[in-house]
Structure formats: C-alpha cells, structure tokens
Structure 1
C-alpha cells in the first residue's frame, strides 16, 4: 500500500516527464510510420493507415505512459507501444471505414495482434481474405517492430500466455463488433456468454469493453522488463487489468462517445445501461475496482496514476459538456478525490494547448 501523498507526488512527477519526454518520442515514432504509409502500398490501404495515425494519435500517447514504468528504457518501450497500438488503430480503420463487413477478413487481419506478441510463430498473410492486399509491407513491418522490442524483455515468457489471451480476446471483439448490425449483437453474445461464468460480477457488454483495451498488454510487457519477475506477479497483473482496469478504460471511452454513436447508429457498450443513474453506478464500480486492483500491484503509485489519468483524460474531453454527461462527469470526479480532479484540470489545460 502506498500513501496518498506519496502517490500524488510520484504522479505529478510522472505527468511532467510524460508530457516533456514521452510525447516527443511518440511524435517521432508516428512520423516514421506516417512516412512509410505515405510512400508504400496501394492508395486504399495507405489512406486508412494515414487516417488512423492522424485521428488516433492520442491512443499512442496514452499507452506510452508505460514507457515510464520503473527501470524501462523509455525510447525502446515507446517504439513497442506505438507499433502495437498503430496495428490496433489501423486494423480498426480497415474493419470500420472501408465499407467491408466480412468476418473471415476481420479475423485474418487481426492475426497481426497475436503475431506481434508471439515471436515464435510465422508471419501470417493478413490480407488473405481482404479485398485490398498490397500495403507495401506496412503491417508486417509493424509486427516485426513489436517482436524486435519484445525480444529485449527478459521475463516475457512469464507474461506471454496472458498477453496472448488478452490479445486474442481483443481480436475476437474486433472481428464481431464490425459486422452488419443485423447479426453482430447475437454473434457477440454467443461469444461472450460462456466467458461470463468466470466473471460473475459484470455484464456481457462490460466484458466486451474489457476485451477492447490494450492497456493490459502494455502493462504486461512493461512488467516483463523486470529480470526477476515472478509467475505470481504476472498473474496478479493479468487479474488486475482484466476486467477492471481495461474495462474502466473502454467504458470511459464509450461513455464520452455515447451520444455521437447513438446518432450514427454505431455500437456502444454504455448504451446498454438502462439510465444515466445506472451509467454512473457502474462507472463508479469500475473506478473503485480499478483503484483497488492498482493497490495490489507492484509500483502502486505508477498504476494508480494511470487509473486516475484515465478519469482525467476522458472526463476532460469536451464531449462531457452536455448536461447529462456533465452530471455524470462531476459525480465521478467528486467521488474520486482531489488528485484525479487535479489531473483533470491539467488534462483540460493540455487540451486547450492542443497537446491532447
């Protein structure tokens, strides 16, 4: 257990380093991938790659906070996070923005997620079932970059099973959630319901949310940098992140997008709650559980800062300004305490300066 003051002091130092040191490294890595995408492959795939980098940069920024985990070479780990998150964001665009709804194609594309985390398996033909195929080597290059950085992690063998499990669940989610609205809900429930036997405290859509986060993957890889990591520590990290910290991450993401998704007819897990009171109640539960789980992990101050940072980053988004969303936002911040509120204020400042 770490004291509130110690966690807060450590967190503020972490935030300063995050903005000053890590953001420029993320920019540098993304610029390299942007140049690659702009000069390789067919137009249809190049455009989706560039669009994902442009629109989803903040995913790479957020995930790269794990490059500040104790003892990690920051530059190397930023390279891993950016490559893995860029795979995720690029594939999301291929499934969501190209006018295609093919389950076999989506499943094949997402082999890139598990290939990236398993250097022992051969590189797959990711576009085998997809109508566009020539990306100029962009996706295999991202996968290879992840593998190269993973090879530097001395304890990766201990976290690999859980990393592949979470990446597999993530890939299944992405395979089903982008299908035709007439079939996707039933397909998802058929996939999710057997898993709920192991997670009795959450709903089907909360489980789906937990599968949609890459934060657990980043934490597992960060922990694998520790030469004397134990199997017990790896297991504890897996349980802490899935479903609670991962779930909080994606539920907050869907919370701020709920009104927009409702208008566009897009799938949104928060929309399955029956009322704004239920949204607040369930988000409050996930905040409580995520912070409690953080207290059980090594480097507690770091993980607590990440959890509180999720609240600050998402709740500072302008999409929380309408009355219903604002009421939920203010209640969550009030119950979370003064430190998340301080981080919230800092995130608002970063947004005003267009740094988030």
Structure 2
C-alpha cells in the first residue's frame, strides 16, 4: 500500500508524542459542519439518492456525475474499463494513478508536465492531475480540451483529476465532460474538509458512467455521507466564505515560507518545494510535533498544508525560524 499523508499513528510510533500539528494532507482544516442526521440514515440500505448526483452536477458545473466512495474508488476502477493501453500519467503527481494503471496490463509512462504535449500523439490514455498534487502545477483548460479531442478521435481517454480544483473552478473542464473520452474526477474531501465521509464524483459520458457504476456495485455511498454532502454542496454562503479564507490563508503560508528563504508553489490548500535537505527538514519538523509530507521519489521535496489556528501558525513560524538559523 502506498504511503499518504494523515498517518498520525505512524508519526506517534516513530516520534513518541501525541500533540501533532498535522500539515501533511492538504485538506481544509476548517471542515464543513456536518448537520444532524435523521435516524434512518443509519438504518436504511443506502440506495443512491438522485438528488446527490444532481446537486453535485450543479455545484461542479458538469452535465452529469456519478457519486463514488472517494475519487480513490474511481482511480482503482477506471483501469479495468479498458483493454491494455498506452497510458501517460503526469509526473510528479498523486501516486495512486500510476500504481493502478500499471496493475492492469497497461503500458505506463510517467511524463513531466512540460512534456505532456508531445506525449499525446503516442498515448491511448492520459491522466493529468490539475491542479497537481503535490506541486500545484496547472494546465490551462483550453489545452486540456485540445488533448481530449486528439485522444477521443482515436478512441482514447483524457482523465483529469480535479480533486484540488474547488479553489480554481474557472479552470475546470467538468462542463465539457459529456463528450466521449473525457473523464473528470472531483472530491469533497479537500475543499470541504470531509475526507472522512469518503465521497467523490466522476463526470463523464453516460456510457462510461454506467460501466463504472456496474463495476462499483450497489450501496457505494453511505446514507450519512449522502446526507452530509447534500448539505455541503448546497451551502453557498459557507462555500463563499471558505473560498475567501482559503485564498487568504494560502497566500499567508506562501509568504511565511518566503520570509524564511523558501520559494514554494502550490494551491490555496498547500505549498510544495524541492527542498535539497528534504529528509532533514521533515525530521526537524517532526521532532517539534509538526507532521508534514515528505516526498522521496520523483517529486523529491516537501509539502505543507494550512495550520488550523493562530497557535498552529505560531508553532510553524517558530519551527521555520529554528530551521533557518541552525
């Protein structure tokens, strides 16, 4: 199983403390306040509520959407819907994509963002994380749609993972996902801070959504998750306030890092940089109870999410000062 952020039990075992400031995930630390649940949410079999798919389609601007148990469910299942293909995955990026395409007989190539344009001609499937996790790199929507047309003309797919796209909705291509061969993944875990309910959505042509739904089977989304997500997706006031706060906090984090000599990139939810002494920096933070994400492979560097409160900001600033003055 691949390593991910949020693994605080591992942190406690390694460093023997329980007062962690968890900056390892890029998840909004100010999560949507879940409403009270009706009693039958725990009792009934969780048949799919059509209102959830319709509400998600309205929020994300897509023609139609399929709710899935987190985008992870789609990432694991999509490779099973194609015969062996030539698959290009943007790199560096969320490692689960490459892992699962390589597990199902496909020929996998991991390609840097600046080389993706050239890779379209010799790919059957392209997977692009946009904005990228962990670097924050962005491919303009118009460019993605050109690639989608080229791939679809020969029966190919463009899979665009927009899990961190809520803070840059202007660059989403979900509105175009009704065309064959274009698949867009969205998540309520990041922007809404609801990773624990395991809910995401796939926007695509109806034929592909039917095939995906058949593979995933019935009752994929729990009753409580459906109830909470409906409230979150409909709450325009909370969304607007959260968007303003995340943009301000994202700029604050980038400025704090720059004040300590670190030039980073990212999104309003996280910052990343190619730290030359990545493992030393990760250990320095961990010894001070700050859990961050260390990347050892293609994206050798570190990623930090947003502190949840002023005490967390102070703790991070102190640790950064100690790092730069040691």
Question: TM-score normalised to the size of structure 1?
Answer: 0.26
Query: TM-score, normalised on structure 2?
Result: 0.27
Q: Which has the higher helix share?
A: 1
User: Structure with the greater relative contact order (CA < 8 A, sep ≥ 6): 1 or 2?
Assistant: 2
Structure holding more strand per residue: 2
